[in-house]
Each structure stands twice: as C-alpha cells, then as structure tokens.
Amino acid sequence: MVLVLLSTLSADPANAQAKKLQKATFGMGCFWCSEALFQRLNGVSSVRSGYEGGDVANPSYEDVCTGTTGHAEVIEITYDPLKIEYDELLEVFWKSHDPTTLNRQGADVGTQYRSVVFYHNEEQKQIADKYKKELNDTKAFGKPVVTAINKASTFYLADSYHQDYFNKNGNQPYCRMVILPKLEKLEKVFKAKLKH
C-alpha cells in the first residue's frame, strides 16, 4: 500500500500530460505563413518550421530553396488532441492555402512549396485520405486537390531565424502583405478555435 502511494505521489503530472501530446506535420507553401496560423490555435503547444520529405541529410535553407533536395518547407505541430483534434488541424490546413496547385503557393514556385500532409500514424493517414476524398468528391475547390499524403520521415529543423518568424518580424513587407491577410482570414473563419 505504501509503495503504491509513493509511486502515485512521485508521478509527474507534466510528464503525463506530455505523453498525451501528438504531432502533425504539414507543408502548405512558405513555412513562415503556416507557422503563424497554427501558433494561434487553441490546443497547439508548439510549431516548428523545418524541412521534410527529401533525400539529402541536414539540408540548409539555401539547399531546399534550389528545389533539388526533394524537401518541402513544413511545420511540425505539437498539439493536445483533447483540445483540438487532428481533423480540425486538417480543416485549417486545407482552408488556409490552395491545395489544387501543384508545387506552388502564390508567387512561391517549386517542389519545396508543395501541399503535403506527413502522417505520423495510420489513424492520421486514414483521416487525411478520407478528408481529401470528400473535398474532391464534393468539388469543394472546383479543381482536384493535389495534396500529397506521405508517411512522416526525418524532420530537419530550420535555422533559428526562421522560427517564430511572423511574431519577430511582423512589420516586414512580406509579413504585412502575405501573412497578415491569412491571419485575418483565420480570425474570421476559425474564431472559435483560437487562443484567447
């Protein structure tokens, strides 16, 4: 009885909570835009910008920008599924970029800007496949959704100056002209899902 009580008292509640957190990885064009959007969602504890899906180890930003490494600019989201579910993250993902353009988002062109979901388990794969099929079956975008759904591979963290980019550089022209309108749309469409 005493041993059970001691082990209960020594259990770290923060560690127990950390075990419940899950990861989601999305590529939807420039990771600066993507990061700024998902950071504002209730239930998202962290968003890291990086690269995934290529065949070169430890690529630099300059390497990825050439479009020859096979990597996509992605965000790796850590979230609490008790506060926001994976399909809700997918909803924000699909409504926050154009998933019908192959290897392009706005003025950004190249395979590094492709629309892609990197799933971390079979459940995420099934949810993403089902959601994409429904979007195409209902012709939600008027054109086919070309988003790739791939198994998660090695995630390479981008340099520190890419992390938390909008929050540190909000007055830059790119942030004002490209990211800010996306944030304004997020606030209109997903107001109930945002952090207070």
Mean pLDDT, contiguous 10-residue spans, the chain (196 residues)? 43 55 96 95 97 96 94 98 97 95 91 97 98 96 97 97 93 90 92 89
Catalytic-role residue among 30, 33, 65, 175: 30
CA distance 104 to 146: 11
Let me know if residue 180 belongs to a domain. yes
Let me know if residue 55 belongs to a domain. yes
Write down the pLDDT at residue 136: 97
CA distance 87 to 127: 7
CATH number, position 181: 3.30.1060.10
Let me know if residue 196 belongs to a domain. no
Let me know if residue 12 belongs to a domain. no
Write down the pLDDT at residue 3: 43
Find, among 109, 147, 151, the residue nearest to 131 by Cα.
147
- Asked whether 127 and 90 are in contact (CB, 8 A), the reply is yes
Helices of type H across the chain: 2-10, 13-20, 31-38, 61-65, 86-95, 122-137, 165-169, 173-174, 180-189
Number of domains making up the chain? 1
Let me know if residue 126 belongs to a domain. yes
Domain span at residue 111 reads 22-190
CA dihedral 161, 24, 92, 116 (to 10 degrees): 80
Is 175 an active-site residue?
A: no
Write down the pLDDT at residue 2: 44
Residue type, 91: E
Let me know if residue 37 belongs to a domain. yes
Write down the pLDDT at residue 94: 94
Let me know if residue 5 belongs to a domain. no
Write down the pLDDT at residue 107: 85
Let me know if residue 15 belongs to a domain. no
Write down the pLDDT at residue 5: 41
DSSP annotation of 109: E
Write down the pLDDT at residue 1: 45
